[in-house]
Amino acid sequence: MPQSPELLRRLLRAKDRMDAAPHEEWPVARLAQVSAVSEAHFARGFRKAFGTPPHRYLLTRRIERAIALLRDTDLPVTEVAYRTGWNSLGTFGRVFRDITGESPGEPRSRERPAAHDAGRAPECMVRAAHRPDLRTAVSEKRRGEGIGIKKRQTTEVP
């Protein structure tokens, strides 16, 4: 059953707030309050509307912002972590590695020399290609890698 346009507008309001300030804490209770719906209704509706739970969406936005800061500025990794919403450098590094497969310093060293090639493809395409894939929870990835289980194949729904 499709979601009502009114509910989608409310969910977009919360998504826009997360996009505007991904460095802030966004628990489901706060997002539900922004959307003026119950917490359970918000969580179900957000996942159905956007294909990912709110927390995973927020992690994606934080990692995208961190990658941009690492690529485009000379800020120390610690400062990037704090500006993108992590209170702990260790947690930032662990989540960054779990999601991207590399340490926070690696994108900086890899993308700095290649900056002159940026004109070959539109920036939106480059960013989309490097967007983290969060279809499985970070803890599920870690658990699967720890016991030698292959990653589950996922298919995208058009």
Domain positions in the chain: 1-51, 53-145
pTM score: 0.67
Is the distance from CB of 21 to CB of 63 less than 8 angstroms? no
100-131, pLDDT tens digit by residue?
A: 999 998 888 876 655 455 557 777 777 777 77
Could you identify the residue written with the tokens 């194949």?
153
pLDDT value at position 128? 74
CB 97 within 8 A of CB 103: yes
User: 46 with 40: CB under 8 angstroms?
Assistant: no
CATH topology of domain 53-145: Arc Repressor Mutant, subunit A (1.10.10)
Rounded to whole angstroms, how far apart are CA atoms 31 and 133?
Answer: 22
* pLDDT score of 134: 64
Q: What is the pLDDT of residue 75?
A: 93
Mean pLDDT by 10 residues, the chain (158 residues): 87 95 94 94 94 92 93 92 93 92 87 57 74 66 59 52
Contact criterion met (CB below 8 Å) for 43 and 82:
no
pLDDT at 139: 64
